[in-house]
Structure 1
Amino acid sequence: MNDTPEQPQENPTALLDLVGRHLVRKSRPLSFDPVVEAVFQTDTATERNRQTIVAGLFALVFFNGFIIIDAITRPEILGMSVLVRLCIVTPLCLAALFWLRRAPPQWIRDSVLTCCAILIAVGSNYLLHIATSTEAHYSAFSFGLIVIGANIVLHIGFNAALATTIGCCVVTAFFLHATPDLNWSERNLPVYYMAAMGVITLVANYRLEGNLRHAYLLMLRERLNAQEVRRINEQLNAYSYTDALTGIANRRRFEQFLQVAWTEALVSGETMSLLVIDVDFFKRYNDSFGHPAGDACLQQVARAIEGQTRGDNDLPARLGGEEFAVLLRHTETIQATSAASRIHRAMSQLGLSHGRPDGNGHVTVSIGLASATPRHDGSSAGELVEAADKALYQAKRRGRNRTILADRAA
């Protein structure tokens, strides 16, 4: 089971506004707005846990290195030192570090590391407590390294660092005051030094965390700005290929798609077809009902045509004015003829009234159909368009509201 937190759903514009509000603040808080905090934790959790595990392993090596110091300065507790350090503290801390690979939330990670730091403090103080060497008490001055390691090297959160500092000081004070034959200085100065190191490292921890979060906000702002620019560019790109009135592809997109489809068919050897469509007597419709009604008519015609296409295989487009086209990839003539028939039926179902001179009282379309199987013989996509245009011209000459099939274009 993967416990890695999922990336929160970002609303780039709203998130960018929240980031901007944080950046204009004079202070550098240790937490963000819940939305920004969730993104921060998700973005940084994996790397922070990796760094924590590496630092924790080095800290354990350093901690166990004191076995050598114990062998030199406190030989009477060497066996207990090996037991406490290698057999109790180290396995528990290794288990905690291994568990951190699951990338838990920061508060859990910090709590686990705080417990590990206090466990090390307990183990170290216990060894001091049972030592009998006259110079054993000097080792208490090294316990401040535990606070430095937790607050700076492991870089736990400020609240956890504060808890670690207090916990280690309390543990050290307890054991030193419970150890016999120590004078006032030997009992209290190590605690004072540890507390001083704690205060210094807490200040450093606070500033380090604040600077880290500020740098993250700057990075996040750049990322969100880049996303916004990319979104706008994609939107503009979509607009550049979309007919503003009907919402289907425009001539530019049609010509690009035609070249790509022609090249693909040239490689595959498949047939492609083209329907060039013109709304019959559209100028008279515009003159009779006005331009707004004409625009509405073109929109309905576009939807009717688009409704008879096959998704990504076909491309319906408005070439300009009342002229449309449908490019049909992987389509033989008989299939293209069926598509044209479906478009005629769709127009009939629209039932748009039209006072036209030929007695037909509804809007209809004329269609020129051409098919081609591209070959390496000098033929081009332009010949397919030309053949369909000629077929459309014949359809209009023969009375409109019909489909005329061109001679094979290639």
Structure 2
Amino acid sequence: MIQGSHKAIAGASRRDPLEAEIEKSLLQQGGLRFSPVMERKYIHDTIEHRFGTYRVLFWFAVFLFNLFAISDYVLTPDIYPVAWFFRFALATPVMIAAMALASRQRFRRYIIHLLTLLFFMGGASLLLLAVLSSAPNAGHSYTGVALVILFAAIVIRIPFWHAVALCGGLFLLHLLIFPWFQMPTDLIVHSALVVFSVAVISLLGNYRIEREFRRAYLRALKMKIDARQLEGLNRQLEEMAVSDPLTGLFNRRHFDAHLDAEWRSAVREQLSISLIFIDIDHFKLYNDNHGHQAGDLCLKQIADTLTENVHRPGDACVRYGGEEFVVLLANTNMDQALYVAQKIQSHLQALAIPHGYSPVAGEVTVSMGVASMVPDRDDTPEDLLEKADKSLYRAKDAGRNRICVDGLPC
């Protein structure tokens, strides 16, 4: 039941704290890092996706790395056995072991650092082999370094600042070992320009890719928050469509549908169904003299009393009119319904809400009419409503502040 749980629509639109962080990050047109809170969430939310991509492309990278064993044989025939030993017996097993380690959940967060290190070691090994060889074409290994940079920054798409570290490290290493390259000066200058240009182009591409990836993540996250807020708003609108704004009890519209459903079930299963009609005695006098604010508070207190005493899934507490309430009791006979009515009356008396203008008592009282039926197919819900309504009017005619039961004297 929704009893007493009515909330204003504005409550559904309360701003998610994360939404402000998202909007702030979206305004940072050139930034590649969020606030600490957003950055932690971004890493947490995307690490599995990144790892899945890395795991697939890793085997492609291993394949290409070993494919260049052909270049070892062609460009550095004097040391190709050493190069092959390094590729197949050292580098490849290390790469596979590193990826296996990163596959463990506890090491997953280090995979970016691990991949950056592996790519640097791959590029550095190409330069080292070129230095070790005395073959005239050994210096052409710079093409391999360029491919390492491209693959890491554009295909694998390691984060931008890791790509900067990789490109900067390999380019500096390239410059440092130039004196040991056995090739013409013009080719040395050309290779440096090629590696530098590839590094710059790769970093520009990597920057744009990561920036768009991060912004797409923010937009998707904001869409999830908007969808969640819309769902909450729709849920509250549905509640408002079936509940009374002041008391939070079901309204008459919902009562009609609920009574119809319970009535059909009672006919089908031949079960008792009961109604309690409740009317606040001389409520107009209370409102006129104590004020509408006090009147609203009184209605809320009575509504709370009803929900405290009626809480089975098939039951319903309803604000039927201004000061009228209805309690629907499914699978409940007359004796049980009378017990519930007496319990409600006892709790209301305990509240002792002052009513100095009531001819009945010095506190707020109610009159109740109770009716119960085991309906058959010829009966209608209106029959039960009429019985309960007549019982209520008998209670009011008998002096109010009492319970009258259908078929019995008050």
Q: Report the TM range for the smaller structure's normalisation.
A: 0.7 to 0.9
Q: What's 1:4 paired with?
A: none
Stretches of structure 2 that go unaligned for 5 or more consecutive residues are: 1-12
Within-5 A mapping of 1:282-293: 282-293=283-294
Given the alignment of the two structures, is residue 275 of structure 1 paired with residue 276 of structure 2, yes or no? yes
What is the distance in 1 between the residues matched to 2:267 and 2:170? 77
Q: Secondary structure at the match of 1:28?
A: coil
Inter-CA distance 405–72: structure 2 relative to 1 (3 Å threshold): farther
* TM alignment of 1:115-130, pairs within 5 A: 115-130=117-132
Alignment of 1:190-339 (within 5 A): 190-262=191-263, 270-310=271-311, 312-339=313-340
Counterparts of 2:264 and 2:93, CA distance in 1: 65
What stretches of structure 1 of length at least 5 have no aligned partner?
A: 1-9
The AA in structure 2 aligned to 1:395 is: A
Contact preservation (8 Å) 1:53, 1:100 = no
Q: Secondary structure at the match of 1:321?
A: coil
Matches within 5 A, 1:8-407: 12-24=15-27, 27-74=29-76, 77-101=79-103, 108-131=110-133, 133-174=135-176, 177-178=179-180, 181-185=182-186, 189-262=190-263, 270-310=271-311, 312-355=313-356, 359-373=360-374, 377-406=377-406
**C-alpha separation between the residues in 2 aligned to 1:382 and 1:105?**
69
Q: Tell me, yes or no, if the aligned pair for 2:102 and 2:110 is still in contact at 8 Å.
A: no
Distance 1:197 1:379, change over 3 A: farther
Residue identity matched to 2:57: A
Asked whether the equivalents of residues 62 and 92 of structure 2 are also in contact (C-alpha less than 8 Å), the reply is yes
Between stretches 270-279 and 339-348, larger displacement belongs to 270-279
DSSP 3-state at the match of 2:248: coil
How far apart, CA to CA, are the structure 2 residues paired with 1:11 and 1:76?
Answer: 72
CA distance in 2, matches of 1:79, 1:92: 19
Check conservation: 1:89, 1:123, Cα contact below 8 A.
no
Secondary structure at 1:276 match in 2: strand
Inter-partner Cα distance in structure 2 for 1:96 and 1:253: 63
The CA deviation at 1:159 is 1.0
CA shift digits 1:121-167 (9 cap, x unpaired)? 23333443444544333233222111111111111111111101122
Structure 1 residues 358 and 211: CA distance shift in structure 2, 3 A: closer
> Which AA in structure 1 matches 2:157?
H
**Contact conserved, 2:275 with 2:385, CA < 8 A, in 1?**
yes
CA distance in 2, matches of 1:265, 1:90: 75
Match of 1:7 in 2: none
Q: Kindly state the Cα deviation for residue 312 of structure 1 after the two structures are TM-superposed.
A: 4.1
Report the Cα distance in structure 2 between the residues aligned to 1:362 and 1:262, rounded to whole angstroms. 36
Inter-partner Cα distance in structure 2 for 1:143 and 1:357: 96
Identity %: 32
One-letter amino acid of the counterpart of residue 135, structure 1: N
Structure with the greater relative contact order (CA < 8 A, sep ≥ 6): 1 or 2?
2
Q: Give the secondary-structure state (helix, strand or coil) at the position aligned to 1:307.
A: helix
Cα offset for 1:340?
A: 1.4
Tell me how many residue pairs correspond in the alignment. Answer: 395
Cα deviation for residue 200 of structure 1 reads 1.3
Distance 1:380 1:370, change over 3 A: same
| CA-CA distance at 1:338 after TM superposition | 2.3
Kept after mapping to 2: 8 A contact 1:366/1:402: yes
Aligned residue for 1:156, secondary structure, equals coil
- Flag the 1:224–1:359 CA change in 2: closer, same or farther, 3 A: closer
Flag the 1:171–1:401 CA change in 2: closer, same or farther, 3 A: same
Q: Are the aligned partners of 1:49 and 1:103 in contact in 2 as well (CA < 8 Å)?
A: no
* 8 Å CA contact 2:25, 2:34 repeated in 1: yes
> Which residue identity lines up with residue 388 of structure 2 in the other structure?
A
CA offsets, 1:362-406, max 9 Å, x none? 32222222334566x254444433332233233333443333333
2:211 maps to amino acid = G
Preserved contact between residue 369 and residue 389 of structure 2 (Cα < 8 Å): yes
TM-score of the two chains, using structure 2 as the length reference: 0.81
Contact 1:148 1:201 in 2 (8 A): yes
Root-mean-square deviation over aligned CA pairs: 3.4
